[in-house]
Amino acid sequence: MEQMLTMMIVDDRAIDRAILRGIFLSEYNIVEAGDGDEALKLLRSGVHVDIILLDIFMPKMNGFDFLRTIKKEVAFKDIAVVVNSEELDEENEVEALELGADDFITKPYNQRIVRKRISNVVNKVIYTQFKMSHQIDELKFVTQRDILTGLYNRESFYKEAREFIIKSSEKCIIAVWNVDRFKVVNELFGSRLGDQVLRNIAHQLIDLLKDKGICTRTEADSFVFCTTKEYLETLMPKIDRILTGQDHRSPIDYTLQLHMGIYEVNDPDMPVYLMCDRADMALQTIKDSYLVRSAYYSEKLKEDILNEQELVIEMEQALAKREFFVVFQPIVETKTGRTSSAEALIRWKHPVKGTINPGIFVPLCEKNGFIAILDLFVCEEVCKFQREQLNRGVKIVPISINISRINFYRTEFSAKIKELLDRYDLEPSAIKLEITEGAYQDNPKYMAEAIKDFKESSFQILMDDFGSGYSSLNMLKDFNVDILKIDMKFIDDLETSERADNILYSIIQMARALNMGTVAEGVETRAQYELLASMGCDCIQGYYFSKPITKEEFTARLEFERERNYVPELPDVRRTILIVDDQKIDRQIITHMMKDEYHVLEATNGEEAFELLKNNFKSISLIIADIHMPKMNGLALLEKMAEYLYLKEIPVIMITSSGEKECEEQALTRGALEIITKPYDSSLVRKRIGNVLKLSESGNMMRQIQRLRDQNTELPTGRTL
């Protein structure tokens, strides 16, 4: 392993630092400080140092004070220190030695002597430094220690941990730490800094445990320690800070985070390596979680893992025994309410465990490679189904198939899909392919290529679970998918988060701008459906319309829609007018005019109107608002609406009094579509309202309104009725 030690030169004279740097540059990483104070700050900021060359006479903090300070700090007390000074008299020498210096060099420096002395110290001290707080001899050190960190190596840890557990009168624990994405650290900063990061973690562990526990590094970025349960609990606040990257002494500009798995020792006779395995199992369950940083091993966990293993063993047999089957979940078009496609979802009818959902076994299949067979099985079932439908002479709807990220990039997989289509004499349009957004993280380049290949073969691609992962909207520009499937998470959030609707609306609009269709997943209530429909989402999938159903049920559903020429009951989208005016009589005039055709809501000021809008916006076709009102006037209401993406699209007609040209201009500039003036001329008012409503309810409402808005800013103002 490439391993250069770090030397810190502490001297107030730049020339002296330069000389020493010149001597040691090729052998050490050099860090420099102009006085004791600066040196201390560097150490405390996490810079890892193996040897310090220390001047005695310096401003701010002299060498003695510095030495005194670092020897009191656990993290630094084992660093080798060589004192250098112009004149070291006996008294100073004794003092330096008493304070823990390892050797001296004097100025002017003689290169050969300086090198020799430092190398002696390094040989002698660096290894004893690794002994940390434990007293062991040189030979033992080499055989019992991890050279990089100085911690116990795995074998001696097992032995020491066993003794610790047996001697302890309290309940003990074994905990495993693993650094998140340590590979990235090495890749970004190089293995030398990566090594330092690991040494720092080792130091942190030693600082935490003191003499109340022991620790080891088992693999590259895995640390294991043993202590008492009670002591671990007292350490938890500190450990939490380390795990979440709030307290790490790092030589790199990177937030290092860790996960921890813990095993409580119930049977002290169990081999320590088994205890470590169990702590590791607990860690594996949270490895990918951002929020959960530590987990305890439990019997339930063990059972789950055994169950998983059982399933893995049974999988292949299950396919032969035809225990897998496919269900179909209808996808409904919002505009027509009819089933426009479906998603094929796999199920496992286990003879003992009952029906198992793919959330359980698909990840296992991805691990053992069985997913290649399983996805093709689903594909074939879908092809068979479509062929049966065509043979019966009915029109088919496309069915989407989930393609695991493992299969998506494999060219032989796409060849097999094409083979299946050929065998069942189907067009690529009979199916659609879903790939989960998470795959983007694996390898964006491969994913883009795979999407391109599939599209060249005329397949439609859906991006599944959009918005569930870490990927950004930006990724959409790299991926030319046909349809976005918006993750259920957003739908769940609609009820609790004010921002969720804004985000959802932006996604739908953005998909439109990019010529992509949208499917919202996990829609369970009518309210969610209506909201999504009014936001312009193309299709809906979710329990509100149907759970996943068998192929017979699905066929029946399609037949029902076909035969009865089924016209579903659709929500009454935007058939309400909101009138906002503080004058009751003026509200009554317009209400009277509109009430036959529209449901009319009334508000006496902008504030009241805004509350009504937020709860009813999906059904409101038009707002007619007076410009002069108490609390929130018409202009302020327009401004408030503009902050909400889904409100600013609702057309507004502003009411002014005749002769208020300036007000009219302001209203039009802020987005009002029309102006009507008091006192009302009923036939003109009717026409103006009628025009705006026609426009707002026509198919491409959004675009037209936008165009009109753009024009409005240039319209001559001051029109009166």
Binding residues for Mg ion, rule: CB under 5 A, are: 402, 434, 464-465, 521
Which range, of 56-64, 208-216, 231-239, 351-359, touches ligand C2E by CB under 6 A? Answer: 351-359
Cα angle 438, 443, 449 (rounded to 5 degrees) comes to 105
Among residues 434 and 501, whose Cβ is nearest to ligand C2E? 434
Rounded to whole angstroms, how far apart are CA atoms 214 and 192? Answer: 26
Query: Which of Mg ion, ligand C2E, none does residue 354 bind to, with CB < 5 to 8 Å depending on kind?
Result: none
Per rule CB under 6 A, is residue 543 in the interface with ligand C2E?
A: yes
- Phi, psi for 434 (deg, rounded to 5): -105, 130
The contact pattern for ligand C2E, residues 417-436, with x = CB under 6 A and - = no contact, is -----------------x-x
Among residues 180 and 375, whose Cβ is nearest to ligand C2E? 375
Query: Which of ligand C2E, Mg ion, none does residue 216 bind to, with CB < 5 to 8 Å depending on kind?
Result: none
How many amino acids of this chain bind ligand C2E (CB under 6 A)? 24
Cα angle 18, 21, 27 (rounded to 5 degrees) comes to 170
Among residues 517 and 548, whose Cβ is nearest to ligand C2E? 548
Nearest to 539, CA basis, from 603, 483, 477: 483
Rounded to whole angstroms, how far apart are CA atoms 242 and 208? Answer: 11
DSSP-derived secondary structure letter, 294: E
Residue showing the smallest CB distance to ligand C2E in the complex: 542
DSSP string over 34-103 = SSHHHHHHHHHTT---SEEEEESS-SSS-HHHHHHHHHHSTTTTTSEEEEEES---HHHHHHHHHTT--E
- Phi, psi for 546 (deg, rounded to 5): -170, 145
In the complex, the smallest distance separating the C-beta of residue 81 from ligand C2E, rounded to whole angstroms, is: 59
Per rule CB under 6 A, is residue 404 in the interface with ligand C2E?
A: yes
Among residues 464 and 626, whose Cβ is nearest to Mg ion? 464
As given in the structure block, the two tokens for residue 376 are 């093709």
Among residues 205 and 523, whose Cβ is nearest to ligand C2E? 523
Among residues 216 and 329, whose Cβ is nearest to ligand C2E? 329
Per rule CB under 6 A, is residue 542 in the interface with ligand C2E?
A: yes
Among residues 356 and 636, whose Cβ is nearest to ligand C2E? 356
Helix (H) or strand (E) holding 709: helix 701-712
Question: Of 61, 378, 508, 625, which lies in the binding site for ligand C2E, with binding defined by CB under 6 A?
Answer: 378
Number of Cβ within a 10 Å radius of residue 606:
26
Convert 203-225 to b/e letters by CB count within 10 Å (16 or more is b).
Answer: bbbbebbeeebbbbbbeebbbbb
The pairing of strands 599-603 and 213-219 is: unpaired
In the complex, the smallest distance separating the C-beta of residue 373 from Mg ion, rounded to whole angstroms, is: 19
Per rule CB under 6 A, is residue 464 in the interface with ligand C2E?
A: yes
Among residues 152 and 554, whose Cβ is nearest to ligand C2E? 554
Among residues 329 and 696, whose Cβ is nearest to ligand C2E? 329
Question: Of 261, 517, 522, 671, which lies in the binding site for ligand C2E, with binding defined by CB under 6 A?
Answer: 522
In the complex, the smallest distance separating the C-beta of residue 380 from Mg ion, rounded to whole angstroms, is: 18
Query: Which of ligand C2E, Mg ion, none does residue 29 bind to, with CB < 5 to 8 Å depending on kind?
Result: none
Per rule CB under 6 A, is residue 346 in the interface with ligand C2E?
A: yes
Query: Which of ligand C2E, Mg ion, none does residue 329 bind to, with CB < 5 to 8 Å depending on kind?
Result: ligand C2E
Which range, of 129-137, 285-293, 413-421, 538-546, touches ligand C2E by CB under 6 A? Answer: 538-546
Per rule CB under 6 A, is residue 345 in the interface with ligand C2E?
A: yes
Rounded to whole angstroms, how far apart are CA atoms 683 and 666? Answer: 25
Strand, helix or coil for residue 174? strand
Question: Of 100, 245, 358, 444, which lies in the binding site for ligand C2E, with binding defined by CB under 6 A?
Answer: 358
Question: Of 246, 307, 309, 357, which lies in the binding site for ligand C2E, with binding defined by CB under 6 A?
Answer: 357
Question: Of 493, 524, 665, 681, which lies in the binding site for ligand C2E, with binding defined by CB under 6 A?
Answer: 524
Per rule CB under 6 A, is residue 607 in the interface with ligand C2E?
A: no
As given in the structure block, the two tokens for residue 299 are 């019997």
As given in the structure block, the two tokens for residue 591 are 């209400």
The pairing of strands 339-350 and 258-264 is: unpaired
Number of Cβ within a 10 Å radius of residue 95:
18
Query: Using CA of residue 232, residue 234, residue 238, residue 240, what is the dihedral sign?
Result: positive
Q: Do residues 473 and 452 make contact, with C-beta atoms less than 8 angstroms apart?
A: no
In the complex, the smallest distance separating the C-beta of residue 374 from Mg ion, rounded to whole angstroms, is: 14
Per rule CB under 6 A, is residue 375 in the interface with ligand C2E?
A: yes
Query: Which of Mg ion, ligand C2E, none does residue 258 bind to, with CB < 5 to 8 Å depending on kind?
Result: none
H-assigned helices in 210-296: 229-243, 272-286
Interacting residues with ligand C2E (CB under 6 A): 329, 345-346, 357-359, 362, 371, 375, 378, 402, 404, 434, 436, 464-465, 521-524, 541-543, 548
